[in-house]
Amino acid sequence: MKKELKKILVLLLVSMFVVASTTIGFAIPVTSENALRIHDDAIVIDTHNDTMTRVIDRNTWLPVNDIGSLTSGQLDIPKMEAGGLDVAFFGSYTGGYTEIGRAGSRLLALINALHWTERMNSEKFGLATSVNEIEKLVHEGKSVGVPTIEGAYSLEEYNAIELLHQYYDLGIRVVGLCWSNSNSLGEGVNERYVDGTPSEGGLTELGAKVVKEMNKMGMVIDVSHMNEETFWDVIEVAEAPIMASHSNVMGLYSHPRNLTDEQIIAIANTGGIVQQNFYAGYLGPTGDRDLKKLVDHIEYVIDLVGIDHVGLGSDFDGGGMPVDLPNASFYYRITEELVERGYKKSEIEQILGKNTLRVIKQVQNLAEKNPDNVGQGLTIIPELEMGEGVSGNTPLLKAEVLRLNGSNIDESSFRVIVDGIVYTPEFNAETGELSLQVEEPLVEKFHVVTFEAVNNSGKISRETRIFYIEEN
């Protein structure tokens, strides 16, 4: 279904000779018929964008700008459809808010915006957490979003593991431990904390603990923005393929954000993948920053470690793009250039998406998290909807626990987790109501709550919601 719709769209655009501008363009050259068919047949995946920062209001952080319609940004759903981009990984970037302790709230605001985007565009856009879900949604003709984290500044010693599991509940499957600035998990390429204080060392003890937990859960570790010491520590600790979600190669352009040959080889040796960044500043010197230079970076990785270990991570809405690839509606041009350079259909399909799907599947297959042990026998219905506001900063958080098929509840197992902190709730056996009265005032705006219960056979049920404190 998806491919047929795309094919109709592409052929229509070709026949109409739509004229493109440098900012919003939908022109597809007539001479690209073979490339367009290859592009249309592939599942095209881009593993990084910052688009949700444009969706939320600058002051309230509530979602207000719907990308279901054409926008002035580099990525929206119409541009995805026009460019033949099937799957976009939406990053939650929080690096600029760590100095005031707002990273967790900001991250949740961005994740909430993505869930809101899905609700606003349910007929044409869906969120996916696995390869099967991605393939199903693409087959249904929908554009696909995958939630990710760019800089896990909200993870601290007191909350890291529980909060990581809450992020998993919200659909997060890829986590970059740090942005360019350092944090409690490791050192970024700037080798400084946000306040300017120099950082020392690589992966911290907490960072190593988080890496191991992510492996257990089936979450992909993203090494983009790390400094070299942290990178090599991750390579030592990780037991599953890793990803650089938006990084280029140092061998073509010396930039702190680009990867050395040794790093690229190490990623490949894990079975992982290096996703090439479109940001012009990482491609080469001024005047040498176009689509051909991007494909040069792709070819460099292929020549170094083979075609199994390269993909695409644009960084749309995170900076300036090449003049001939200004937004997602021009995505097909990458395939045109690959065809021009003589790559086979099967090879192009790998670059466009199959390599990424393989890595996700391998990481999830290696995970210890057993989906068969989750959500059986009990149903939990939180009072809050996803992204709902609450009055006051000491809310009463409630959920109804329903027994299915006569299943019994282990009342001693009840947990309510708020922002990674575990609490013992009250339970009314007569009404089935689970509740937690928050006593310590919640300082920031956005928060996450998880209601958890276990039945008598040990099956775990969890429901997680993002909520925010309404302003008086």
Q: Write the CATH number for 361.
A: 3.20.20.140
DSSP string for 96-161: GGGGGT-HHHHHHHHHHHHHHHHHHTTTTEEE-SSHHHHHHHHHTT-EEEEEEEE--TT--TTTHH
Q: Write the CATH number for 404.
A: 2.60.40.1220
pLDDT at 281: 93
Count the neighbouring beta carbons within 10 Å of the beta carbon of residue 302: 17
pLDDT at 32: 56
Residues 207 and 349 in one domain: yes
User: pTM of the entire structure?
Assistant: 0.92
Q: Could you say which of 302, 331, 365 is where a domain stops?
A: 365
Residues 175 and 266 in one domain: yes
Residues 155 and 245 in one domain: yes
Count the neighbouring beta carbons within 10 Å of the beta carbon of residue 363: 27
User: 417, 432, 354: which is closest to 165 by C-alpha?
Assistant: 417
Full residue range of the structural domain in which residue 36 is found: 2-365
Q: Which two tokens stand for residue 104?
A: 């967790």
CB 63 within 8 A of CB 116: yes
Residues 360 and 376 in one domain: no
Q: Could you say which of 306, 330, 365 is where a domain stops?
A: 365
Residues 342 and 427 in one domain: no
Residues 412 and 356 in one domain: no
CA 164 to chain centre: 14
Q: What is the tally of structural domains in the chain?
A: 2
Per-residue pLDDT of the chain (472 residues; tens, 9 = 90+): 445 545 445 444 433 333 343 345 544 443 457 999 999 999 999 999 999 999 999 999 999 999 999 999 999 999 999 999 999 999 999 877 776 679 999 999 999 999 999 999 999 999 999 999 999 999 999 999 999 999 999 999 999 999 999 999 999 999 999 988 999 999 999 888 877 888 888 999 999 999 999 999 999 999 999 999 999 999 999 999 999 999 999 999 999 999 999 999 999 999 999 999 999 999 999 878 899 999 999 999 999 999 999 999 999 999 999 999 999 999 999 999 999 999 999 999 999 999 999 999 999 999 986 554 455 568 899 999 999 999 999 999 999 998 766 667 778 889 999 999 999 999 998 899 999 999 999 999 999 999 999 877 778 899 999 999 998 6
d(CA 201, CA 187): 7
CA 323 to chain centre: 26
Residues 207 and 338 in one domain: yes
pLDDT at 436: 98
Q: Could you say which of 320, 344, 365 is where a domain stops?
A: 365
Residues 311 and 377 in one domain: no
Q: Which two tokens stand for residue 226?
A: 């790390």
Residues 210 and 326 in one domain: yes
Q: Which two tokens stand for residue 181?
A: 């600035």
d(CA 374, CA 369): 9
Residues near 31 by Cβ (< 8 Å), separated by ≥ 6? none
CB 150 within 8 A of CB 65: no
d(CA 417, CA 405): 27
Q: Amino acid identity of 388?
A: E
Residues 268 and 333 in one domain: yes
Residues 337 and 408 in one domain: no
User: 114, 143, 152: which is closest to 466 by C-alpha?
Assistant: 114
Residues 381 and 353 in one domain: no
**Of all residues in the chain, what percent are helix, strand and coil, respectively (each to 5)?**
35, 20, 40
User: 382, 381, 371: which is closest to 459 by C-alpha?
Assistant: 371
